[in-house]
Amino acid sequence: MPKSNDTHDTGYGSVPLSMRTVTVHGASLFEPRTGAVSTPIYQSSTFRHPGLGETTGFDYSRGINPTRTELEKTMALLEHGKYGLAFATGMGAISSVIKLFKPGDHLIVSEDLYGGTYRLFNEYYARYGLSFSWIDTSDTALVEASLKPNTRAIFIETPSNPMMKVTDIRRCAGLIHAQDGILVTDNTFLSPYFQNPLDLGSDLVVHSGTKYLAGHNDTLAGFIVHSRSDLAADLVNAQKSEGASLSPFDAWLTLRGIKTLSIRMEQHEKNARSIAHWLRSHKRVEKVFYTGFEDHPQYTLSRTQSRGFGGMISFYLKNAVDVPGLLKNISLILFAESLGGVESLLTYPLVQTHAAIPEAMRLSNGVNDRLMRLSVGIEDADDLIADLDSAFSKCV
């Protein structure tokens, strides 16, 4: 066992450590049994019991696994929560959140959000008696007006995917707490490095860990983090029962990714700022959606609830005819569906991330045939700009 003065007492209590330090060292600093600096991959589906009624604390890996536990504790520290739960994907995490509700419950949901979340709620959970109001949650008055006596939760993505709208976390928390419901915030776009929704009153934070947290476009992962002791057992049970728990190897990859979260996030943001400004002045681009622009409608709100603007940009081309040429001629930036990795990816939401959203809703949200979404990686910004410039110049 480590000596007490070796104990990694993060806790953000008496001796708070900075986010940079916690990302590198995780919850445990080292593995106490062997001193391993890198958390071992406990590739075991099950664990021996010393005797009847005796346990090592581990049992069967769908419910608990030591590698996953280290990651869950690390995520709890990074999101300033008491409890972390790691899932095989972001959708697995979101699906487990919905297990908290029962038929007849109503949820208010950001209309501008990842298409897979829309599909899960609308095509599946609506079948089981839950109802959803899809609204622009960046409009707090509209959120308030949409509350019903049976509204049990507000589910927001902020910044939203792909239109980069920012929802007021504190005000949504106040509204839903007044009627004893919960606020769930998808914090995928900013990661805990730039935003901690629990500090602003959110009850649960969810993540697609596939994105900035794992960070290398090489694994899928998802998280719920919270401090609600009253919901803790139910969420653990949902994770164990649903079975979408993160595998030991993917937990290790995610822990490894998190070690460099801070330096990656800073580079993503630096690059995104340069590229957003460059795109804004390009003759083939009509409009750029980037929360770091001072004239972004929620710029001031972002400054009060986040520590940075992240690495995501969306933009409208002036002409839809440029879409095939741009996607074909980028050579460094890859045309692929995901975000948050070290490699820059260009996505066409209409046919990829938001294809599951019905046309009328998609169009009213602004996801049209001219919208592109760019996840800015950590390459050299000048190289990325040169790649976009060259691809634009080859458009007809």
Residues lying near ligand PLP in the complex (CB under 6 A)? 89-91, 114, 116-117, 157, 161, 186, 188, 208, 210, 220, 222
Q: Do residues 62 and 240 lie in contact, with contact meaning Cβ atoms separated by under 8 Å?
A: yes
Q: Which of 171, 211, 264, 273 is catalytic?
A: 211
Distance separating alpha carbons of residues 295 and 63, to the nearest angstrom: 47
- Annotated catalytic residue 383: no
User: Residues near 147 by Cβ (< 8 Å), separated by ≥ 6?
Assistant: 108, 175, 176, 179
**Residue, CB closest to ligand PLP:** 90
Q: Which of 62, 119, 170, 287 is catalytic?
A: 62
Starting at the edge strand found earlier in the chain, the sheet holding 182-186 runs 83-87, 222-226, 204-208, 182-186, 151-157, 106-110, 131-135
Question: By C-beta, is 105 or 112 nearer to ligand PLP?
Answer: 112
Q: Which of 42, 83, 114, 348 is catalytic?
A: 114
What is the signed CA dihedral for 369, 349, 205, 307, rounded to 10 degrees? -70
Question: By C-beta, is 168 or 250 nearer to ligand PLP?
Answer: 250
Q: How far is the CB of 113 from ligand PLP (least distance, A)?
A: 7
Structure tokens at 212: 């900035």
Distance separating alpha carbons of residues 165 and 312, to the nearest angstrom: 12
Question: By C-beta, is 374 or 391 nearer to ligand PLP?
Answer: 374
Question: By C-beta, is 153 or 391 nearer to ligand PLP?
Answer: 153
The sign of the CA dihedral 165, 166, 169, 174 is negative
CB atoms within 10 A of CB 179: 12
- Annotated catalytic residue 211: yes
Question: By C-beta, is 10 or 188 nearer to ligand PLP?
Answer: 188
Question: By C-beta, is 196 or 210 nearer to ligand PLP?
Answer: 210
Q: How far is the CB of 117 from ligand PLP (least distance, A)?
A: 6
Q: How far is the CB of 162 from ligand PLP (least distance, A)?
A: 9
**DSSP string spanning 269-312?**
HHHHHHHHHHHHT-TTEEEEE-TTSTTSTTHHHHHHH-S---SE
- Annotated catalytic residue 299: no
Tell me which residue of 95, 96, 74 sits closest to 259, measured CA to CA: 74
Question: By C-beta, is 86 or 391 nearer to ligand PLP?
Answer: 86
Q: How far is the CB of 50 from ligand PLP (least distance, A)?
A: 37
247 exposure class (CB count in 10 Å sphere: 0-12, 13-18, 19+): buried
Q: How far is the CB of 114 from ligand PLP (least distance, A)?
A: 4
Q: How far is the CB of 119 from ligand PLP (least distance, A)?
A: 11
Q: Which of 168, 186, 250, 387 is catalytic?
A: 186
Structure tokens at 341: 């990795």
Q: Do residues 214 and 253 lie in contact, with contact meaning Cβ atoms separated by under 8 Å?
A: yes
Q: How far is the CB of 340 from ligand PLP (least distance, A)?
A: 8
- Annotated catalytic residue 273: no
Q: Do residues 254 and 211 lie in contact, with contact meaning Cβ atoms separated by under 8 Å?
A: no
Annotated catalytic residues are 62, 114, 186, 211
